[in-house]
Structure 1
Amino acid sequence: MLSRLFPRRAPDPEPLPQPNAQLALGALLVRVALADRQYRAAEIGQIDKILARTFDLKPLEAAKLRASCEALERHAPGTPEFAEILREEVPYEDRKALADAMWSVALVDGERDASEEIQLIAIETALGLSDTDIAVARATALGRYARP
């Protein structure tokens, strides 16, 4: 009876972690996957693979990092802020590789979506990639993930 009169307050949510290169990359990968308003298992798996490979993580560690990135993506700053972290911490050549990884997330489900492509171009531009490198990343990804 007392519990009905004095219900327990829900605990305060955990504060979001301060974005670093790992979290910024993961949040941008999640943002690309969510751009078409569908978050498919293939995209989640691809994000986990990218995080594991990029940061030398075990599968469970990559999944936990992705979960943190999902929360951060929902409540954190916009694309320019994440991209700025990556511009400051990641060399240009590696940022080009990140663009390739982001394209793989967008295309892993076998579908091209205009909203994902627009999100990708915005991210690549915010990462400071040249128009030529953006075009090459797009062409490479479309060639690699084109349906037969």
Structure 2
Amino acid sequence: MFERLFPRRKPDPKPLPQPNAQLALGALLVRVAMADRDYNATEVGQIDRILAATFGLKPLEAAKLRATCEKLEMHAPGTPEFAAILRDEVPYADRKALADAMWAVALADGDRAEREEITLMAIETELGLTDEDIVTARRTALRQS
């Protein structure tokens, strides 16, 4: 009865961390996976593996990072802002590798979704990749899938 009269206030949510290269990459991986509105366990696992391999994290640490990136992706800046962080902090050759990783996420569920491809191409462009490198990353990913 008292609960209805005096409902407990929900605690204020923790503020989101300021995006850095690690969080920007994770948020963009999540954005690619969510682009087709079917964010599934296969894509989540692929994101976790990429984060673990890229940043030398244990599986639980990678999962926690991904969870933070999911929140950040929903409430934080758009693709250009995340890509700008990566352009500023990550060398070009490594940004090309990021594009390969994003393609791996987009194709992880075995479905080639147009929305994911459109999102991914926009991200690659924002990362400052050349048209030739974008086409090469796409071809390589489709051959491997």
* Alignment partner of 1:109 is 2:94: no
Residue in 2 aligned with 1:50?
Answer: 50
Residue in 1 aligned with 2:74?
Answer: 74
Residue in 2 aligned with 1:11?
Answer: 11
Amino acid of the structure 2 residue aligned with 1:117: E
Residue in 2 aligned with 1:97?
Answer: 97
Residue in 2 aligned with 1:124?
Answer: 124
- Residue 4 of structure 1: CA displacement? 2.7
- Structure 1 vs Structure 2: percent identity of aligned residues? 76
What is the alpha-carbon distance in structure 2 between the residues aligned to residue 62 and residue 99 of structure 1?
A: 19
What is the alpha-carbon distance in structure 2 between the residues aligned to residue 53 and residue 36 of structure 1?
A: 25
CA RMSD for the aligned pairs?
0.7
Amino acid of the structure 2 residue aligned with 1:106: A
CA deviation vs aligned residue, 1:63-102 (integer Å, no higher than 9, x gap) = 0000000000010110000000000000000000000000
What is the alpha-carbon distance in structure 2 between the residues aligned to residue 104 and residue 2 of structure 1?
A: 52
- Gapped runs of 5+ residues in structure 1? none
Residue in 1 aligned with 2:31?
Answer: 31
Amino acid of the structure 2 residue aligned with 1:104: A
- Residue 123 of structure 1: CA displacement? 0.1
What is the alpha-carbon distance in structure 2 between the residues aligned to residue 5 and residue 40 of structure 1?
A: 40
- Gapped runs of 5+ residues in structure 2? none
Amino acid of the structure 2 residue aligned with 1:112: R
- Residue 29 of structure 1: CA displacement? 0.2
Q: Secondary structure at the match of 1:23?
A: helix
Report the TM-score, using the length of structure 1 for normalisation.
0.96
What is the alpha-carbon distance in structure 2 between the residues aligned to residue 133 and residue 58 of structure 1?
A: 31
Amino acid of the structure 2 residue aligned with 1:56: G
Runs ≥4 in structure 1, deviation > 4 angstroms?
none
Q: Secondary structure at the match of 2:8?
A: coil
What is the alpha-carbon distance in structure 2 between the residues aligned to residue 97 and residue 25 of structure 1?
A: 11
